[in-house]
Amino acid sequence: MDEDLIEKKISSEDIYDGHLLHVKRDMVKLPNGKEAVREWIRHPGASSVIPLLPDGRVILVRQYRYPVGQVTLEVPAGKLDAPDEDPVYCAERELAEETGYKAERITKLTTIATTVGFSNEYIHLYAAEGLTAGKQHTDEDEFINVVKVPLEEAVEMAKDGRIFDAKSVTSILLLAMQKNIFK
């Protein structure tokens, strides 16, 4: 149906192979027969989780994000340890590491492609309920503060730009719709 849109790979080279990012440069044949270069980032994928407390508050994390040069408010998340890692397991691990909480129930909200113009990263979004508090155990290079915010306030923060991280905005709005509190 969309064959007139498909680009076909002619060649591929690795530009950079880092700890998190793997940059590729591909030569492609365009639908009109011409050739073009596509530079893109190969990513193993990730999971995020929005924990919901019985009182209607969600648990978010504050952390400094170097690429945007500021402290952000986000849902807990992390990359898959391997492309074949179960995304639910990754969500459970990140929930425990970043917040100290464990969940009785984790339900899928959706999967999103984060930046389709230059990366193949997919992030699996989950909601967690039936939470039990525990001890936060972040990675050595992670400095995270846990914040509890009423879901209604998180929606307003997503709408007015105080929360601007894409996975977090999507998770907050989808959970609010699911709980019938979207304004």
Mapping DSSP to helix (H, G, I), strand (E, B) and coil, where does residue 93 land?
A: helix
Q: Which of 140, 152, 153, 156 is catalytic?
A: 140
Q: How many CB atoms lie within 10 A of CB 183?
A: 7
d(CA 87, CA 38): 28
140 catalytically annotated? yes
Indicate the pairing of strand 22-29 with strand 46-51: unpaired
Beta-sheet pairing, 102-113 with 122-132: antiparallel
| Cβ–Cβ < 8 Å for 174, 125 | yes
Active centre residues (catalytic): 140
